[in-house]
Amino acid sequence: MSNNIFWHNSAVSNKHREELNHHKSACLWFTGLSGSGKSTLANEVDKIFYSKKIHSYILDGDNIRQGLNKDLGFSPSDREENIRRIGETAKLFVDAGLIVLTAFISPYRKDRDFVRGLFDHNKFIEIYVRCDIKTCESRDPKKLYEKARKGLIDNFTGVNAPYEEPENPELIIDNGNDSDILKNAQLVVEYLHSLKLI
């Protein structure tokens, strides 16, 4: 009877939602330069998750900058608010029992550390997608580096705004031209296995 009363008063918890999903929840925070392959890598990881019936979701520029954060630009203070909101949203997804993957440049160490502080230990996994800027610039699918070099974009990370490398990320993925994106995605999945998150 006391259990029933407890259940009646309590809400469905994060633990309940993890049990329903048959895996733990966590935030995989991909950070790196524009063109480093963060979104591509996150998408490959997400596809592996789906094939394993892992409940996941990606937050990236496509769904955040057009929606939740469309009122924000790229000044340092707007970037800070951008990352704060993404971090808070990621926290909700983790609370909901999902593995949420975020793919944003997130160039400032203090902003990433702020987000880390929102999560319990082992729930926040910073993944540095490392790629030298020449390679990133040679990819340049949206011609953003080209525009930034011409002075047409202010505050472009790596050109006229800083990128602060992670000092102690949980994982570093070298994602240069000689790298295999599928193997790199597998490395991320294996790391989560090693933590017994999945």
> How many angstroms separate the CA atoms of 106 and 90, rounded?
14
Catalytic residues: 106
Closer Cβ to a second copy, 47 or 193, answer by number: 47
**Cβ 54 to a second copy shortest distance, Å:** 9
**Cβ 138 to a second copy shortest distance, Å:** 21
Going by C-alpha positions, the residue among 15, 37, 40, 10 that lies closest to residue 25 is 15
> What is the secondary structure of the chain as a DSSP string?
-HHHHHHHHSPPPHHHHHHHHTS--EEEEEE--TTS-HHHHHHHHHHHHHHTT--EEEEEHHHIIIIITTT--SSHHHHHHHHHHHHHHHHHHHHTT-EEEEE-----HHHHHHHHHHS-TTSEEEEEEE--HHHHHHH-TT-HHHHHHTT-SSS-BTTTB-----SS-SEEEE-STT--HHHHHHHHHHHHHHTT--
Closer Cβ to a second copy, 81 or 170, answer by number: 81
**Cβ 118 to a second copy shortest distance, Å:** 8
Closer Cβ to a second copy, 88 or 174, answer by number: 88
Per CB under 8 A, residues contacting a second copy are 7, 11-12, 16-17, 20-21, 43, 46-47, 49-50, 53, 55-59, 63, 67-68, 85, 88-89, 91-93, 95-98, 118
Closer Cβ to a second copy, 79 or 91, answer by number: 91
Closer Cβ to a second copy, 92 or 152, answer by number: 92
Adjacent-strand bridge partners of 129: 173
**Cβ 171 to a second copy shortest distance, Å:** 21
**Cβ 88 to a second copy shortest distance, Å:** 4
